[in-house]
Amino acid sequence: MGHQLANGRLEVEIAKVGRYQGTRFDRTGFITQVKLTESGHTFCVHEFAEGFNPQAGSGLCNEFGLHEGMGYAEAEVGDWFPKLGVGLLKRVSEAPYNFQYAYPAEPFDVDVISGDSNISYTVRSRSINGYAARLVKKISIEDTVLTIDYELINEGSRRIDTEEYVHNFIGINEEAVGPGYKLKLPVPVRFTEVESDYTSDLLSVQDNEIGWTARPHKPFYGRMKGFNGGDYPYSWELTHSARRAGVREISDFPVAHMALWGTGHVISPEVFVRLSLTPGEKRSWSRKYQFFCW
């Protein structure tokens, strides 16, 4: 059994540590569903339309080091390297780090303290090649706002340089992706990278708003410029016109960059924060999700 947070306005389903068994996403605070209690609107879907897969993403799940495995470059084949929020992973070849590969893993120890409206996780990593860190994550709800607070402490002898983001697997009331959805940013949309002409043709951009011209029949992806999250009321806002519901993410940190990924059943706006900690240094940051209907 997992854990549920509830306050009469919002219900949040969180998977038990270990239900997700992949080596990509943080295994703590793996949020599989969020529901507005009064209206019944739901917001989370699984990475695959077929349903939950223990090796895949679901709902609101975060990841450290998407593009670069911490300590991977200096690890020899057969050696271990750390993945924050997951455990020690084993390098199996000379190939570059691949976030989609299921590396052999030895999970980190996790302490959990839970209540009705909050839950906290403390992940204690084992030292490997001078890398060691303590990650504290607290998830809490108030009214219709879900807050994720992070604290990362570098307890090793080597510098930690990584990034963190939440892969938001969102489908409002499980509605298929299409013209009913609108994604708004607080700044004009400027793509710095679009994966293909398919993505360009699929997305309709007007100033600070992104729409969909049709239901996607394959994945789409684009990368956008960052901005200072603390200067704006939200980082992004996703709504569905027919369902008359939406969600917005609010960040308190400089946004390194954003990405937009999705398929026919899921939209995932992703907000990246860059983390650089010297030995002994601590870094805290926060994400808030406000769920609403009209």
pLDDT of 76 over the 80 cut? yes
Give the DSSP letter of residue 58. Answer: B
pLDDT of 45 over the 90 cut? yes
pTM listed for this prediction: 0.96
**Confidence class of residue 20 from pLDDT cuts 50, 70 and 90?**
very high
What is the reported pLDDT for 68? Answer: 86
pLDDT of 1 over the 80 cut? no
Residues 6 or more apart in contact with residue 86 via CB below 8 angstroms? 23, 24, 25, 26, 27, 105, 107, 108
What's the CA angle centered on 28, arms 268 and 136, to 5 degrees?
Answer: 110
Q: Which domains does the chain have, with CATH numbers?
A: 3-64+111-293 (2.70.98.10)
What is the reported pLDDT for 126? Answer: 86
Across the range 192-215, mean pLDDT stands at 95
